[in-house]
């Protein structure tokens, strides 16, 4: 079994992606590698932030790694919160604070179109590769479900009538933006390593 570093401290993301890697790789997060500091995400695109994080780990450890950046883009809010999804409501934010601010800003706007967007950047033996995933859907006006994390309780993916917050992880992992990007990453790793 091969080992690969995922440049995140988020145990939810590690669990989601490890479930998709099955037996191909053992995934290790930053904390397991002794990296406790927050890696700055100063780029204005998902790809830019994913690259910053992957480069940081590559330069520090010299080990093949990948990083992701993802967020929710709401059409009526001009694509916000976008790359600011994690700290939309400020530095000392919670998922609930972010959701509350988004719903407040959306107000009674009838346009609830939105999409989750994920970019994964892999640095494998010093070479950089990018993988993207998108899932379109709509924002609900109230939270539904206690599964998932982040904006999951207010996002209904296209073709469904339940939010990500109401879905089991196995179901979400089949269709989420991160799942779509991870499928591309896993296919690449399985055919190129």
Q: Kindly report the CATH class assigned to 2-192.
A: alpha beta
Question: What mean pLDDT, rounded, does the chain reach?
Answer: 91
CB 75 within 8 A of CB 113: yes
CB 11 within 8 A of CB 29: yes
Does the annotation mark 97 as catalytic? no
Residue 34 CB contacts under 8 Å (≥ 6 apart), including other chains? none
Percentage with pLDDT > 70 across the chain: 98
Catalytic residue among 69, 84, 100, 152: 69
Q: What is the pLDDT of residues 137-177, one digit of tens each?
A: 999 999 999 888 899 999 999 999 999 999 998 898 889 99
The strand pairing partners of 137, in sequence order, are 114, 157
Confidence (pLDDT) at 56: 94
Q: What is the pLDDT of residues 84-102, one digit of tens each?
A: 998 899 877 789 999 999 9
Residue 193 has pLDDT above 80, yes or no: no
Element containing residue 189 per DSSP (H, E):
helix 177-192
Confidence (pLDDT) at 159: 96
Q: What is the pLDDT of residues 18-36, one digit of tens each?
A: 877 767 678 899 988 988 8
Section 46-70 average pLDDT: 94
Confidence (pLDDT) at 13: 80
Distance of CA 147 to the CA centre of its chain: 15
Confidence (pLDDT) at 138: 98
Confidence (pLDDT) at 176: 92
Please state the domain extents for the chain: 2-192
């Amino acid at each position: 079994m091969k080992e690969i570093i995922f440049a995140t401290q988020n145990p939810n993301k590690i669990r989601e992606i490890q479930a998709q890697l099955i037996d191909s790789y053992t995934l290790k997060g930053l904390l397991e590698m002794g990296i406790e500091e927050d890696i700055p995400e100063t780029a204005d695109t998902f790809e830019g932030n994913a690259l910053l994080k992957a480069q940081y780990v590559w330069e520090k450890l010299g080990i093949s790694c990948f990083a992701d950046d993802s967020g929710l883009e709401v059409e009526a809010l001009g694509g916000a919160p976008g790359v600011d999804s994690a700290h939309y409501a400020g530095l000392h934010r919670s998922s609930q604070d972010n959701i509350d601010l988004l719903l407040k800003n959306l107000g009674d706007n009838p346009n609830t179109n939105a999409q989750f967007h994920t970019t994964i950047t892999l640095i494998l033996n010093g070479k950089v590769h990018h993988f993207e995933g998108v899932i379109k859907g709509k924002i609900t006006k109230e939270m539904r479900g206690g599964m998932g994390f982040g904006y999951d309780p207010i996002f209904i993916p296209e073709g469904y009538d339940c939010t990500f917050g109401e879905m089991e992880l196995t179901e979400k992992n089949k269709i989420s933006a991160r799942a779509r990007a991870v499928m591309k990453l896993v296919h690449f790793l399985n055919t190129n390593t």
